[in-house]
C-alpha cells in the first residue's frame, strides 16, 4: 500500500479530484436540503410529522 508523495503529479490530480468531489457533495447536500425544506413548507408539516403519520397509517 505505497502512496505516492503529495508533490507528484498524480498526487496533485488526486487532490484536485478530491476537491471537485467535495464541492459536488456540498452542492448536492445543499440542493437536497432545499428540496426537503420546500416539501415541508408545501405540505405544512415537518419530517417528524411525516414519520408519525406513516406509523399510524
pLDDT at 51: 57
- In whole angstroms, what is the distance from residue 28 CA to residue 24 CA? 6
Residue 50: inside a domain, yes or no? yes
Q: What is the mean pLDDT of the chain?
A: 80
- In whole angstroms, what is the distance from residue 38 CA to residue 28 CA? 15
Record the pTM: 0.53
Residue 4: inside a domain, yes or no? no
Name the residue with higher pLDDT: 22 or 48: 22
Residue 2: inside a domain, yes or no? no
Q: How many domains does the chain have?
A: 1
Is 11's pLDDT higher than 80? yes
pLDDT at 55: 60
Residue 1: inside a domain, yes or no? no
Residue 26: inside a domain, yes or no? yes
Residue 41: inside a domain, yes or no? yes
- In whole angstroms, what is the distance from residue 33 CA to residue 43 CA? 15
H helix intervals, 1-57: 9-43, 47-56
Name the residue with higher pLDDT: 51 or 9: 9
Structural domain range at position 43: 9-56
Residues 6+ apart with CB under 8 A from 11: 4, 5
The whole-number average pLDDT for the span 18-38 is 97
Amino acid at each position: 500500500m505505497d502512496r505516492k508523495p503529495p508533490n507528484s503529479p498524480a498526487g496533485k490530480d488526486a487532490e484536485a479530484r478530491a476537491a471537485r468531489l467535495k464541492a459536488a457533495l456540498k452542492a448536492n447536500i445543499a440542493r437536497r436540503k432545499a428540496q426537503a425544506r420546500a416539501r415541508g413548507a408545501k405540505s405544512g408539516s415537518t419530517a417528524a410529522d411525516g414519520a408519525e403519520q406513516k406509523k399510524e397509517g
